[in-house]
């Protein structure tokens, strides 16, 4: 599968990722891998009795990581993505809970050619939604995308 080159992205283009269900195991493994040893994520009694949600939730950083993984799995930047340039305007609107299924809506915001880097920067708005279509997270991300090679 070949990704889209810089020239192939245009403001207003939209893509939708596949879906992924977040399991309790996903959350526990990520919390341990990242060292997020916060009662909100590791203490069942605290989660049940004292947390805002009363049940285990995914750290926002896990939601972001999974959203980025789903984005890569679309194939739109496969072999053309050269660098993650930055992230702006991240907002979280609600939790991802155990057994929630997430999907990402991607919209191209703008493009800027960077000939010296062999392509250009594409900015995307990414909205993470759960199985009920509720917006969970939104952020703008910029990636350096390889340009088409001249024939």
* Residue 6 in tokens: 């810089």
Q: Walk along the chain (151 residues) and give the pLDDT tens digit of each residue.
A: 589 999 999 999 999 999 999 999 999 999 999 999 999 999 999 999 999 999 999 999 999 999 999 999 999 999 999 999 999 999 999 999 999 999 999 999 999 999 999 999 999 999 999 999 999 999 999 999 999 986 5
> Which residues contact residue 68 at a Cβ distance below 8 angstroms, ignoring those fewer than 6 apart?
none
pLDDT of residue 1: 55
Angle among Cα 111, 115, 118 to the nearest 5 degrees reads 95
pTM, two decimal places: 0.93
Question: % helix / strand / coil in the chain, to the nearest 5?
Answer: 25, 35, 35
Tell me which residue of 75, 76, 82, 79 sits closest to 120, measured CA to CA: 82
For tokens 């009795």, the residue is 49
pLDDT of residue 35: 97
Domains of the chain, each with CATH number or no CATH: 6-146 (3.10.129.10)
pLDDT of residue 149: 81
Whole-angstrom distance, CA of residue 64 vs CA of residue 59: 9
């Amino acid at each position: 599968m070949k990704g889209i080159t810089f020239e192939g992205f245009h403001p207003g283009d939209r893509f939708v990722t596949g879906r992924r269900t977040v399991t309790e195991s996903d959350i526990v493994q990520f919390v341990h891998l990242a060292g997020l040893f916060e009662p909100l994520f590791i203490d069942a009694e605290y989660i049940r009795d004292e947390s805002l949600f009363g049940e285990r939730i995914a750290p926002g950083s896990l939601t972001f990581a999974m959203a980025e993984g789903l984005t890569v799995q679309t194939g739109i930047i496969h072999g053309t993505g050269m660098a993650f340039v930055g992230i702006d305007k991240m907002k979280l609107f609600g939790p991802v809970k155990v057994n929630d299924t997430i999907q990402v809506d991607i919209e191209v915001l703008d493009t800027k050619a960077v000939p010296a880097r062999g392509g250009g920067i594409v900015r995307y708005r990414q909205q993470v939604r759960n199985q009920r279509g509720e917006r969970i997270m939104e952020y703008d991300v910029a990636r350096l995308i390889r340009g088409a090679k001249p024939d």
